[in-house]
Amino acid sequence: MPDAKVYRNFIGGEWVESVTRKTFENRNPADTRELLGHFQASNEEDVKRAVEAAAEAYKRWRLVPAPKRGEILYRVGQILVKSKEDWARQMTQEMGKILKETRGDIQEAIDMSYYMAGEGRRQFGVTTPSELPNKFMMSVRMPMGVSALITPWNFPMAIPSWKMMPALVCGNTVVFKPASYTPLSAYNLVKACEEAGVPKGVVNLVTGSGRGVGLPLMKSDAVKVVSFTGSTEVGRAVSEACAPTFKRSNMEMGGKNAQMVMDDARIDLAVEGALWGGFGTTGQRCTATSRVIVHKKVMKEFLDKFMARAKALKIGNGLNPSVEMGPLVCEDQLNTVMKYVEIGKKEAKLLCGGSPLKSGDFAHGYFHEPTIFAEVDPHATIAQEEIFGPVVSVIPCDSLEQAIQMNNDTIYGLSSSIYTQDVNRAFQAMRDAYTGIFYVNSSTIGAEVHLPFGGTNHTGNGHRESGTAALDVFSEWKAIYVDFSGKLQKAQIDDVTW
Q: Catalytic residue positions? A: 252, 286
**What is residue 392's three-state secondary structure?**
strand
How would DSSP label each residue in 91-115?
A: HHHHH---HHHHHHHHHHHHHHHHH
For residues 136 and 130, is the Cβ–Cβ distance under 8 A?
yes
Return d(Cα 201, Cα 174) in angstroms, integer.
Answer: 8
Residues with Cβ < 8 Å from 400, sequence gap 6 or more? 260, 262, 420, 425, 428, 429
Query: Both ends of the chain: CA-CA distance in Å?
Result: 84
Q: What residue type is assigned to position 182 of the chain?
A: T
Q: How far apart are CA 490 and CA 477, in angstroms?
A: 23
**Inter-residue contact 116 to 295 (CB < 8 Å):** no
Query: Rounded to the nearest 5°, which phi and psi values hold at 120?
Result: -60, -25
β 135-143/127-129 pair status = antiparallel
Helix residue spans in 62-150 (DSSP H): 66-95, 99-119
